[in-house]
Amino acid sequence: MQQDMIVILDLGSEQNTLIARDIRALGVYTEIHNFDITADELAALPGVKGIILNGGPNRVVDGVSIDASSAVYESGLPLFTVDHCGKTPQDLPAWPEDEAERKAVLSKFVFDTCRAEANWNMENFIADQVELIRRQVGDKKVLLALSGGVDSSVVAALLIKAIGSQLTCVHVNHGLLRKGEPEQVVEVFQKQMGANLVYVDASERFLGKLAGVADPEKKRKIIGAEFIRVFEEEARKLSGVEFLGQGTIYPDIVESGTKTAKMVKSHHNVGGLPEDMQFELVEPLKMLFKDEVRACGVALGLPEGMVYRQPFPGPGLGVRCLGAITRERLEALRESDAILREEFAAAGLMGKVWQYFTVIPDFQSVGVRDNARCFEYPVIIRAVNTVDAMTATIERVDWALLEKITDRITHEVPGVNRVLYDLTPKPVGTIEWE
């Protein structure tokens, strides 16, 4: 069933994702596209019922005030403009800050003006993606980067539904995974789900490439490029592999930068991909927000414990071991993270807090151990709650629990003499430190 779509054109707004989520909450599918969409690109989008021209503070690019192309204004589709960014008479000074008022304005445009139907749901999304995957892949084979996290797990389930045995899952241990994670991935996907899983221990290879590299962007790009090289090597051992499946989701794309928005950080599966990559990408979740990915996983029948596990970045502990990665700090990071997860689970926070982890910076501070002066590393605890990963609030962890975690980390993890708690929301901080 073809789903109706509202297109949001980004003319410098910082609220594109907010509006997109509001429209999807109305049961109507929406996509965000660049302001300079062409007539052919617009015509290729299925089921478009209307266009929102969404202007804002980033509308001036390279000294020029941007606007949509003439193809948009001549499309004959209903247009709605914001912040006086276009040529139509339905201008608002800005989107209403009140959620109910904002949704009322959108609802009037979407349903009354555009005559769109509320026919977007996960069942329809899955059916559409299965058809698109089969059309794209044909009788070829797909390699999937299976980290065991939420995004790649949902992609795996979706690809299995679409192409079955044409899928080969590759789990790469890059030496930057959490404690016990490689063993858990093999147990769940290979032994319990019966997936065609290839396990590659490339930890020494990755750590060698990352030695001495302190810049966060360089680390992400090295990890992203090395992932592709590993997959290419595994693909050469198979026949007919022409596609690479990835768990890219919409926040990955937004944060990697658009024509009107500055980059927050390059995600390894967006900004870190090598230009000479030999695969065509299969990214069925790239237009979904995190909560929608979880809903998709539930609709596909994945276990709740897998769907609602906290997310883990593709570069893994590499972006939590700040600066140049050392084996000493990496091991301390892995152990402190395991303690944090164990204590949060015991306190009943595992299903309550969206994401929690530890970070270790590349500097030491003075402390006292065994009645003597010592210079050791601090561990930073980060615990946040969010719906779509675009904004986040901190979890107000009980002091007694924090003191217990601090005592365990400082006594059980070698080389650590301080524990700190990060109180910064997103924005101004990001969820990860690098």
If DSSP codes are grouped into helix, strand and coil, which group holds residue 65?
Answer: strand
Range scoring the smallest mean pLDDT among 96-105, 319-328, 361-370: 96-105
Region 135-143 average pLDDT: 93
What is the percent of the chain with per-residue pLDDT over 90, rounded to a whole number?
58
Q: For 239-270, b where at least 16 C-beta lie within 10 A, e where not — what string?
A: eebebbbbbbbbbbbbbbebebbeeebbbbbb
**φ/ψ bin of 177: left (φ > 0), alpha (ψ from -120 to 50), beta (otherwise):** beta
pLDDT for 82 equals 79
Region 68-75 average pLDDT: 91
227 or 328, higher pLDDT: 328
- CA 232-234-239 angle, to 5 degrees, is 90
424 or 22, higher pLDDT: 424
Q: Which two tokens stand for residue 195?
A: 């997936």
Q: How many CB atoms lie within 10 A of CB 216?
A: 18
- CA 118-123-124 angle, to 5 degrees, is 55
- The whole-angstrom separation of Cα 86 and Cα 391 is 28
pLDDT for 94 equals 58
Region 89-113 average pLDDT: 78
Q: Are 82 and 13 in contact (CB under 8 A)?
A: yes
E-strand spans in 161-212?
A: 167-173, 197-201
Which residue do the tokens 């989520």 mark? 21
- The whole-angstrom separation of Cα 385 and Cα 81 is 32
* pLDDT higher than 60, residue 118: yes
How far lies 106's CA from each of 51, 122, 263, in Å? Answer: 12, 21, 28
How far lies 399's CA from each of 71, 269, 421, in Å? Answer: 58, 38, 11
* pLDDT higher than 90, residue 45: yes
Q: Tell me the pLDDT tens digit for each residue of 231-289.
A: 788 888 888 889 999 888 887 776 655 565 544 444 444 444 556 667 899 999 998 98
- The whole-angstrom separation of Cα 206 and Cα 175 is 7
pLDDT for 89 equals 40
Q: Are 350 and 378 in contact (CB under 8 A)?
A: no
* pLDDT higher than 70, residue 88: no
H or E stretch at 178: none
* pLDDT higher than 80, residue 347: yes
Question: If you write DSSP's letter for every residue of 158-169 in order, what string do you get?
Answer: HHHHHHGGGEEE
* pLDDT higher than 60, residue 84: no
Ranges 46-60, 123-137, 297-311, most confident: 123-137
How far separated are the first and last CA of the chain, in Å rounded? 42
Number of helices (H) and strands (E) in the chain: give both, helices first. Answer: 14, 16
pLDDT for 203 equals 95
pLDDT for 420 equals 98
- The whole-angstrom separation of Cα 239 and Cα 220 is 30
- The whole-angstrom separation of Cα 147 and Cα 305 is 15
Region 6-31 average pLDDT: 89
Q: Are 146 and 185 in contact (CB under 8 A)?
A: yes
pLDDT for 259 equals 60
* pLDDT higher than 60, residue 390: yes
pLDDT for 359 equals 98
Which residue do the tokens 């979880």 mark? 294
Average pLDDT, the chain: 88
Orientation of helix 290-299 relative to helix 122-137, angle to 10°: 90
- The whole-angstrom separation of Cα 35 and Cα 10 is 5
Q: Tell me the pLDDT tens digit for each residue of 201-226.
A: 999 999 999 999 999 999 999 998 99
- The whole-angstrom separation of Cα 92 and Cα 19 is 14
* pLDDT higher than 50, residue 117: yes
Count how many residues are written for the chain.
434
Q: Tell me the pLDDT tens digit for each residue of 329-343.
A: 999 999 999 999 999
Closest CA to 269 of 325, 221, 202, 206: 221
Residue 57's identity, in one-letter code, is: P
H or E stretch at 292: helix 290-299
pLDDT for 201 equals 95
Query: Do you find a cis peptide bond into 284, omega within 30 degrees of 0?
Result: no
Residue 324 binned pLDDT confidence (cut-offs 50, 70, 90): very high
- The whole-angstrom separation of Cα 29 and Cα 16 is 14
- The whole-angstrom separation of Cα 114 and Cα 48 is 9
Q: Are 12 and 260 in contact (CB under 8 A)?
A: yes
Range scoring the smallest mean pLDDT among 7-21, 66-80, 91-105, 214-228: 91-105
Q: Tell me the pLDDT tens digit for each residue of 162-175.
A: 998 899 998 999 99
- The whole-angstrom separation of Cα 271 and Cα 288 is 18
pLDDT for 103 equals 87
* pLDDT higher than 70, residue 398: yes
Q: Are 268 and 285 in contact (CB under 8 A)?
A: no
Q: Are 288 and 250 in contact (CB under 8 A)?
A: yes
